[in-house]
Amino acid sequence: MGAFYIIVFGGLAALLLAGIWAIVRLWDGQVRQAHEAGYPSLAAYLRAAPRGDQEKRDAADLALKGLVLCMLGLLFPPLLLLGLFPFFYGARKVVYASMGLGLVDDSDQPGQ
């Protein structure tokens, strides 16, 4: 009976650690991409509309990673909340790109 609990809790702990590791890797990758793209911070990168094809691909990739985390959240409910953030920002950047909103710089707009 004791071995059963060790296996169950060990498996759950392994899944939890794997999820934390995946989230940290996702975060570090996004910070690195933001700095490589010339943005001062990750927040500025996520708020901006995609400027080129590579940023459009990164936005679609971010949205899909968030969607996968949301799907995993159906099995492990806390992951649902964590998956919403990359899904929202990635999907928003994809929508901005599809609407052509990244073609002009926001600072060039009147009234800003």
In the prediction, which pLDDT does 104 show?
47
State the DSSP string of 79-96.
Answer: HHHHHHHHHHHHHHHHHH
Place of tokens 């600072």: 107
Contacts of 101 (CB under 8 A, 6+ apart): 49
Asked if residue 55 has pLDDT above 70, the reply is: yes
Instruction: Using alpha carbons, select from 7, 102, 20 the residue that is nearest to residue 53.
Output: 102
Q: What are the boundaries of each domain within the chain?
A: 2-102
Q: What is the pLDDT of residues 66-87, one digit of tens each?
A: 888 778 777 777 767 777 888 8
pTM comes to: 0.64
